[in-house]
Structures are given as structure tokens and as C-alpha cells.
């Protein structure tokens, strides 16, 4: 408790400087700092049934109607339009592009024969990026293991997944590692464990009553911890293999990407301040503490008990230190309210174990557009610095969710990016070890829960156009201004809007 209070005091002394920086340029960032944008395989590629790709659990989830009836069968067809998209990246001025590889496209059955056409696609994409001076940053896994492994042994609830994931990672390291210097293993495993194995709202939609929604299989009381345990071991096993067989020759770095939000107490009650500390341990410490110390957070072991798998001595040694960087996904701040009454329930899941109720600023429901709280990003990074020794960090996702429509005048997204990137510059000046920033997302694409109902993209994609034409939003021009060395300012946002609305919409699209 004292540790958290001390951290909050430190953060509050900085708050005046982080609400928003009036103006800055990329010269305010260290030399070599990377700016990019990101997507993931199922969200952009399409070609779901082409060239030997097999269904993943995300295909199954989407075809069961869980994303407003939408699927990624076509998505925005980057599989066929990757050259056009890379050209847009280059014209925007991106240093790097973060994308994920589809396990189902590389090894359709999850293990065994490798699909040469899958290898060819990613080789083509990687080569196209490099030919345009854009660094490829690769995530190996994003909610999409092959359905064949889910059918055979339950995917992440089986320890067999550790071996199969490591073998898949080895194929990627071997085939692409001569050109890939930045690898992330599992994307937001903390959310996947909760959403996919407790609440049943993400693939593979495992859960049990009374906690999950419309689930026919699973156990919300222990499967989130079991799945997370296997993800952690799969990550560490892949890192060990990479370091032993590939890193020395290829010279890359490898890490793990976590979803984070900053938490503030919902009231000034001590129990809500304690709830914040507990929630940070359950959401961030769940993975970062084993990476640093080789063991799960003490509070989790005490509360969850035997439902939390224990790390053996060998596993602890495997996991400890198994990262070169931490990927951070961050969008907003939420408020934490003590809910330890849940500890009295006969049956408990992850949320009940945590004993915290999350409250959003506009009520308990997640608002359509999250509030702009750039100071929350700085608080999050300060927490990593103070609690976990200031590890190297890449911001792997940050962006604004809006309702998807055809307007290209996304002034609110420009203001969001201006505020968060400015806060990031200030945080780095204060000593945070952040190496790069990837805004989410390059394109309006298929979203995990929302299908095509919401959007984060710099580029609008017209889904009614057979050619799926890409059109730059104002935010694309704003980001391009920053990346090309111009000074961006709050006053300049409105001036940019006025200037760019007079440009032909073909400015980026030929």
C-alpha cells in the first residue's frame, strides 16, 4: 500500500506538465525513436480460405455471429493489396509497420507441414516493406491459433500448446528472421485469458455460468489462470529457442505485449486505493512479475490459491528474464472500486478473485468514445519505471475508437494523437525507457468485438467499393506532418483541417 501511495504522490507532482504539450516535433524524441502504425492478420488480410490457410479460432468466433455478424473473410483484403498499403505507409512517412502472422496460414493444422504459399505471402510483405525503408515489427500470435488445435486438445488450456507454439515460432524465426529484428510473441495474453477463458467474449469463447455469456464449454474459475500459464511458458520457451538458435546470427530483439489501462481510485476511500494496487498486480503483474522475478505476484497467489498454477523451479528459471522489451497497449484510464464482497461467493472467477469493480467516467458501460486522458499513459509508463525497473518499452497500440462512418474529418482523432504523443515525449524526458510508438490502426479494419461498427484507422476503407479504396483521414495528414519533421501544435490542428479539406482526396491515393 505504501508503495502505491508513494507512486501516486510522484505522479501527482507531474500532472501539470502532462495534460497536453502545446507543440512539439519528432526532434523532441530521442535519435532512433520509431514511429509506426499497426494491424493484425485476421483484421486486415482477408483471403481466409485461399492458398492453404485453415480456419483459426477467430474465424470460428466470427462465423458464430459474435462480431455484429461480421467476419474477416475479406476484411480489407491486405492479402491482395499489400503493395498499395505499403505505398501508403511510405507516403505517410512511417518508420515501421507492426503486423501479426497468421499461424493458420503458415502451419494450417497447427503443427506438421508448413504451407509454402503462406511463407510466400509474408516474404512478399516483408520484402515490400524493406524496399520502402519500413521496418517490419512482427507479432507471432493475436487471438488466432488454428481451430484444429482447439478441436484436438483445447488450445491454451493444454500444455501441448507450449510445444506447438514454440515449433511455429521457430518456423517464423528461421524463415523471416534474416529481415525481422523485432518480435513479439503473444499479443495481450492478459486480455485473452480473461476474455477467452473467463467471460467468453473473445475467441475461443470458453467460460462457465454464472460468469460467462452463452458458453457451452469451459470453466471460468481456473481456465483463465491455466491458459495464461501456458501462454507465459510458450512465450518463454520461444524466447529461449530464439536466443539459442537465432538471435546471435540475426541480431533481433523479442518481447511480450500486454494490454494496460491506468487505474485511479473511484473514491478517496483507502479500500479503493488498495483495489487499484491489487488490480495492477492482477492485470500487469500477472505477466510482468514472472518475467522480472520468476514468480507470480504474491497477492494473486494468496487470493487465487491452488487455482493459480505454480511455476516450478525449472519454469521459473525459464520465464525469468525472458524478454528484451515489453510491448504496451494503452488507450485510456478507468476507475477502480473495491468489490471484495466477491470473495465470499461460492464460485469465483478472475474478476471475483481480483475483487475490483471497474467504473468508466461515463458510467459502468464502456463509452463509444473513450475519454482523452493522455496523463494516463504517462502514469502507466511511470508505474513500469518505478515498479519494474524501467524496462525497454514499445507502445504497440494507442489510438482513438470512433463510430465507423465515411467522414474523413476526424479532428477528434488528431487531437487524441496530439495529446498522447505529446505526453509520451514528456514521459521520455522524465526518464521512461520507451523506444517506439505505434498508433492503432493503419486502416479502418475488422475489430475483435465490433466487427466493422467502430474504427481507429488513419485511412478509411470503403467497404461498399469492390476495390476497397483507401482514403486518408485528416489524422493521416497530421501524423505524416509529425513523421516528416514538422512542428505540430494544438492551434495548428484546426489550421491543418482547413488546409487539408481543400486538397483532392487523391492526395495519398493514386
Give catalytic residues, as residue numbers. 188, 397
Give phi and psi for 112, each to the nearest 5: 100, -140
Instruction: With CA atoms as reference, report the closest residue to 187 among 177, 198, 196, 175.
Output: 196
As given in the structure block, the three cell numbers for residue 100 are 501479426
Q: Could you tell me the three cell numbers for 101?
A: 502472422
User: Can you tell me which residue has the cell 504451407?
Assistant: 115
The C-alpha atoms of residue 8 and residue 14 are separated, in whole angstroms, by 10
CA 248 to chain centre: 27
CA separation (Å) from 225 to 219, 232, 317? 10, 10, 19
- Calpha distance 234→245 (Å, rounded): 16
CA distance readout (Å), 184 to 127, 216, 451, 470: 19, 32, 25, 28
Looking only at the bridges linking them, the beta strands covering 454-455 and 402-403 are antiparallel
Give the span between the Cα atoms of 264 and 11, in whole angstroms: 11
Q: Are strands 135-141 and 182-187 parallel, antiparallel or unpaired?
A: parallel
What does DSSP say about strands 34-38 and 96-100: parallel, antiparallel, or unpaired?
A: parallel
Peptide bond into 204 cis (omega under 30): yes
Rounded to an integer, what distance in angstroms lies between the CA atom of residue 287 and that of residue 308?
13
Amino acid at each position: 500500500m505504501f508503495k502505491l501511495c508513494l507512486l501516486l504522490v510522484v505522479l501527482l507532482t507531474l500532472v501539470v506538465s502532462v495534460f497536453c504539450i502545446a507543440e512539439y516535433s519528432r526532434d523532441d524524441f530521442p535519435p532512433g525513436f520509431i514511429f509506426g502504425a499497426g494491424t493484425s492478420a485476421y483484421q486486415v488480410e482477408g483471403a481466409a480460405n485461399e492458398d492453404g490457410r485453415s480456419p483459426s479460432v477467430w474465424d470460428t468466433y466470427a462465423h458464430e455471429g459474435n462480431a455484429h455478424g461480421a467476419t474477416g473473410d475479406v476484411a480489407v483484403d491486405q492479402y491482395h493489396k499489400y503493395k498499395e498499403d505499403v505505398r501508403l505507409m511510405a507516403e505517410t512517412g512511417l518508420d515501421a509497420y507492426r503486423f501479426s502472422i497468421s499461424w493458420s496460414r503458415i502451419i494450417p493444422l497447427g503443427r506438421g507441414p508448413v504451407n509454402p504459399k503462406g511463407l510466400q505471402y509474408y516474404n512478399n510483405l516483408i520484402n515490400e516493406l524493406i524496399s520502402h525503408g519500413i521496418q517490419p515489427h512482427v507479432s507471432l500470435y493475436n487471438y488466432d491459433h488454428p481451430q484444429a488445435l482447439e478441436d484436438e486438445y483445447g488450445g491454451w488450456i493444454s500444455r501441448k500448446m507450449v510445444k506447438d507454439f514454440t515449433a511455429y515460432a521457430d518456423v517464423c524465426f528461421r524463415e523471416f528472421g534474416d529481415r525481422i529484428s523485432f518480435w513479439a510473441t503473444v499479443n495481450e495474453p492478459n486480455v485473452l485469458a480473461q476474455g477467452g477463458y473467463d467471460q467468453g467474449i473473445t475467441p475461443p469463447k470458453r467460460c462457465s455460468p454464472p460468469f460467462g455469456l452463452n458458453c457451452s464449454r469451459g470453466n471460468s474459475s481456473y481456465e483463465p489462470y491455466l491458459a495464461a500459464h501456458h501462454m507465459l511458458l510458450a512465450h518463454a520457451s520461444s524466447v529461449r529457442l530464439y536466443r539459442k538458435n537465432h538471435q546471435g546470427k540475426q541480431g533481433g530483439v523479442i518481447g511480450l505485449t500486454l494490454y494496460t489501462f491506468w487505474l485511479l481510485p473511484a473514491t478517496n476511500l483507502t479500500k479503493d486505493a488498495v483495489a487499484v494496487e491489487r488490480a495492477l498486480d492482477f492485470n500487469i503483474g500477472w505477466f510482468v512479475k514472472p518475467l522480472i522475478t520468476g514468480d507470480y505476484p504474491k497477492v494473486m497467489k494468496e487470493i487465487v490459491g491452488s487455482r493459480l498454477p505454480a511455476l516450478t523451479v525449472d519454469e521459473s528459471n525459464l520465464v525469468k528474464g525472458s524478454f528484451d522489451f515489453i510491448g504496451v497497449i494503452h488507450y485510456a484510464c478507468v476507475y477502480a472500486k473495491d468489490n471484495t464482497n466477491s470473495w465470499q461467493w461460492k464460485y469465483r472467477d478472475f474478476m471475483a478473485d481480483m475483487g475490483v469493480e471497474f467504473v468508466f467516467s461515463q458510467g459502468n458501460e464502456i463509452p463509444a468514445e473513450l475519454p482523452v486522458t493522455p496523463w494516463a499513459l504517462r502514469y502507466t509508463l511511470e508505474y513500469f519505471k518505478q515498479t519494474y525497473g524501467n524496462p525497454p518499452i514499445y507502445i504497440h497500440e494507442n489510438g482513438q475508437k470512433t463510430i465507423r462512418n465515411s467522414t474523413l474529418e476526424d479532428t477528434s482523432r488528431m487531437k487524441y494523437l496530439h495529446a498522447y504523443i505529446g505526453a509520451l515525449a514528456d514521459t521520455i524526458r522524465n526518464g521512461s525507457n520507451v523506444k517506439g510508438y505505434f498508433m492503432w490502426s493503419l486502416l479502418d479494419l475488422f475489430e475483435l468485438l465490433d466487427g466493422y461498427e467502430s474504427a481507429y484507422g488513419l485511412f478509411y476503407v470503403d467497404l461498399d467499393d469492390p476495390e476497397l479504396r483507401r482514403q486518408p483521414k485528416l489524422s493521416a495528414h497530421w501524423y505524416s506532418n509529425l513523421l516528416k519533421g514538422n512542428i505540430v501544435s494544438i492551434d495548428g490542428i484546426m489550421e491543418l483541417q482547413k488546409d487539408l479539406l481543400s486538397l483532392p482526396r487523391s492526395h495519398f491515393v493514386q
